[in-house]
Structure 1
């Protein structure tokens, strides 16, 4: 299944500023970037590099003088997700068997204070007999109990804030899902990407839980089909996966995002209690 993804970001730069962007579609075992282009106006030298884990792809550039600055990215991406039968999902996560990478997603992080949600998580979800059922129950609880309201939160909002105020956007829904999973010793990581038929169009966030050797994707917002996502990055939370990080004096003036499927036979995949999971490795 092929997708055409595009994004454009514009800024007013008032002084020396370094930007780090995270908008490139990833090449993974499930996702192949067939074509991509990057246009920067004005033309500025830039550097593309990968994160220390070899996964996320970043672009860094520095602007010295005041100016209006914009960049546009486009890519054609071939997706091959895996549908997994979770009917025999284990009743607990074998923490002793996790390698160092997987284990790193068990710990509390800046926006996902799982250590403060252990009692709540065990009371609400500890009675489910399998890891998959627990994560699905978490996803459904967030969907039914947290109000999705655009512009209701900011970059400082954490999982504790979201569960207290019961309102948020996709970023907050993802952080809460991650925190509740980690409170149950289930590794969970942040997912940011392009999303087909997201309205209004924007970058989208959800989360992945590590179940029986696979990273299974969950989206508590239910705003898009799970197989309509194109991965940009994973991280412990949004601090690791920000679309744009600005070090200096600049103000964002515009952002556009688009994701279109290039195949006619797209069939939306959703979880409906049939014990199937979907994985983008």
Structure 2
């Protein structure tokens, strides 16, 4: 078991009565447990924690009149990753997939897997199925997509990124997810915190369903898999944004940190960790 300390500070100018839903809290799963957490909202206003979905993700909901709003969240999260003999992890036949996993085979707003079938099968269809094929998808994305801050926005999809060959962490995840789904491999988007990420920020990565559970992957290779802390999970980034806001609001600053209590637990990139 490993301990990771996470924190985020978000400051906004609120210009009209506004409603917020934040997805910044550590999710609680079998392999990820929040030991302690603290939330400070300024000015002091009523807020509500609620379950965002069935994956252990939690939302923070609040409403406020015009003001300068700051949200400060920190937590200590215990990770107990299950590391397997990865090359023996197999894909699951469609007829044997649990019903709850099936939605993660479908195209979504940012992951147009239905448009990438021919490309995916040409590039990866002849590879041995299972973990090694997903890893090759990550390798391809890491090699062929340049990480360029500011190169994409909230309207950019996986197909857009494949055309321009540049993006940020969420785009690397979207392309990887779309290619996996095009091959019949269930994949879903994950947002959260990443130990060692430079510069520190909320990070986007993804999970793939192999054997009988979900495994983490990150095509950016910017942080070790064992240092990823999940906050949001969904079909793509539309389901896992760190903030959804209704109202006239301007972000003033964002500060995100993730630090391992014992950095020696971090191991080489690319090794998947069971999180289900």
TM-score class, shorter:
over 0.9
CA contact (8 A) 1:85 1:277 kept: no
Query: What is the CA–CA distance in structure 2 between the aligned matches of 1:117 and 1:264, rounded to whole Å?
Result: 39
Distance in 1 (alpha carbons) for counterparts of 2:246 and 2:41:
18
Corresponding residue for residue 251 of structure 1: 250
Quote the residue 2:41 is aligned against: 40
Q: What is the Cα deviation at residue 59 of structure 1?
A: 0.6
Task: Give the alignment's TM-score, normalised by structure 2.
Answer: 0.96
Deviations 1:45-66 (A, max 9, x none): 0111102425220011111x21
What is the 5 A alignment of 1:32-181? 32-53=33-54, 55-63=56-64, 65-90=65-90, 92-181=91-180
* Residues 183-192 or 208-217, more deviating: 208-217
How many angstroms apart in 2 are the aligned matches of 1:142 and 1:250? 35
Q: Summarize deviations over 1:8-52 as a string: whole Å, max 9, x none.
A: 001000101101000000111101111101000001101111024
Aligned to 1:279: 274
Residue 28 in 1 paired to residue 23 in 2?
no
Match of 1:199 in 2: 198
**d(CA) in 1 for partners of 2:225, 2:130:** 19
Asked whether the 8 Å contact 2:227–2:266 carries over to 1, the reply is no
Q: CA RMSD in A?
A: 1.2
Higher helix share: 2
Note if contact 2:38-2:73 (Cα within 8 Å) is conserved in structure 1: yes
Is there any run of 5+ residues in structure 2 with no aligned partner, and where? Answer: none
Unmatched runs of 5 consecutive residues or more in structure 1: none
> Structure 2 vs 1, CA of residues 69 and 241 (structure 1 numbering), >3 Å: closer, same or farther?
same
Deviation at 1:264, TM superposition (A): 5.1
Question: What are the Cα deviations for residues 158-206 of structure 1, in whole angstroms up to 9, with x where unaligned?
Answer: 1010111100000000000000000000000001111111100001111
Provide the rounded CA distance (Å) in 2 between the counterparts of 1:211 and 1:107.
Answer: 17
Given that residues 24 and 57 in structure 1 are in contact (C-alpha distance below 8 angstroms), is that contact kept between their aligned partners in structure 2? Answer: yes
1:103, 1:187 within 8 Å by CA — same for their partners in 2?
yes
CA distance, structure 2, for counterparts of residue 241 and residue 54 of structure 1: 12
Would the alpha carbon gap of residues 25 and 115 (structure 1) be closer, same or farther in structure 2, given more than 3 Å must change? Answer: same
- SS of match in other structure, 1:206: strand
Q: 2 CA distance for matches of 1:112 and 1:204?
A: 17
Report the CA distance shift for 1:136/1:53 in structure 2 as closer, same or farther (over 3 A): same
**Paired residues, number:** 275
The alpha-carbon deviation at position 234 of structure 1 amounts to 1.1
